[in-house]
């Protein structure tokens, strides 16, 4: 499988880009990797890159976007931060990726058993981590069940995963609200912005559509 070129990127639509990622994740689950020569792709992309998707995911070592979607060099822009939230710098990176570099799809990828989400659920305090986790707290507060405080912590895996899913949705809301560039591109049909959850137990990515 060759690296994307300007010509192949131009043939990609938001819908086709999403289909590519779904097919890649299915290959990943089945341990059937696409046949690609990474060293050849190094050479092919040495003078330019033409990715078709931008993926915001967690830094979790088990959730590498390139691996779980079976993509090669030059296929995706990968933005990683604990808890997969956005700030001004990440929004700027996404604007570059879509408006200037031509990607057709933004995926906000959360995952089950997320350590950052667990920290936010437990209201953890540690150096700069304290302020970082505060950005995930709105998702914690948005999940109203269970009401019993003793069940609203990292020991309750169902609660943690509900918060992680909500965090994905709130992040998408922030992208649309805080980036006029991306909001306009989505409105015009130039890009799609979708959420997804990766299951660390099965390798499956479930998209919100």
The answer to whether residue 1 is domain-embedded is no
175 in a structural domain? yes
Give the domain range for residue 198: 6-208
CATH number at 199 reads 3.40.1050.10
Res. 140 pLDDT band, cuts 50 70 90: very high
Question: Annotated binding residues, as ranges?
Answer: 58, 60, 111, 114
Query: pTM higher than 0.85, yes or no?
Result: yes
Model confidence at 34, pLDDT cuts 50, 70, 90, reads: confident
Number of domains in the chain: 1
Helix 180-187 / helix 88-95 crossing angle, nearest 10 deg: 40
pLDDT value for 19: 97
Q: Is residue 104 part of a domain?
A: yes
Please indicate, yes or no, if residue 35 is contained in any of the structural domains: yes
Residue 168 has pLDDT above 80, yes or no: yes
Residues forming the annotated binding site for Zn(2+)?
Answer: 58, 60, 111, 114
Comparing 17-31, 44-58, 82-96, 171-185, the range with the smallest average pLDDT is 44-58
Is residue 6 very low, low, confident or very high in pLDDT (cuts 50, 70, 90)?
confident
Lowest mean pLDDT among 38-52, 99-113, 183-197: 38-52
Q: Is residue 119 part of a domain?
A: yes
Structural domain includes residue 37? yes
């Amino acid at each position: 499988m060759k690296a994307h070129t300007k010509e192949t990127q131009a043939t990609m639509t938001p819908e086709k880009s999403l289909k590519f990622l779904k097919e890649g994740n299915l290959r990943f689950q089945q341990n059937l990797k696409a046949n690609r020569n990474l060293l050849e792709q190094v050479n092919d992309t040495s003078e330019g890159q033409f990715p078709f998707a931008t993926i915001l995911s967690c830094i979790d070592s088990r959730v590498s976007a390139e691996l779980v979607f079976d993509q090669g060099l030059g296929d995706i822009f990968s933005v990683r931060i604990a808890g997969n939230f956005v700030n001004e710098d990440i929004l700027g990176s996404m604007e570059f990726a879509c408006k200037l570099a031509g990607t057709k799809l933004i995926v906000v990828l959360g995952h089950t058993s997320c350590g950052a989400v667990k920290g936010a659920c437990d209201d953890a305090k540690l150096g700069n981590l304290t302020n970082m986790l505060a950005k995930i707290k709105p998702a914690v507060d948005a999940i109203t069940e269970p009401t019993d405080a003793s069940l609203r912590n990292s020991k309750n895996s169902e609660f943690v995963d509900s918060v992680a899913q909500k965090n994905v949705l709130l992040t998408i809301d922030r992208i649309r609200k805080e980036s006029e560039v991306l909001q306009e591109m989505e409105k015009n049909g130039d890009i799609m912005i979708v959420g997804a959850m990766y299951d660390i137990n099965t390798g499956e990515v479930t998209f919100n559509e």
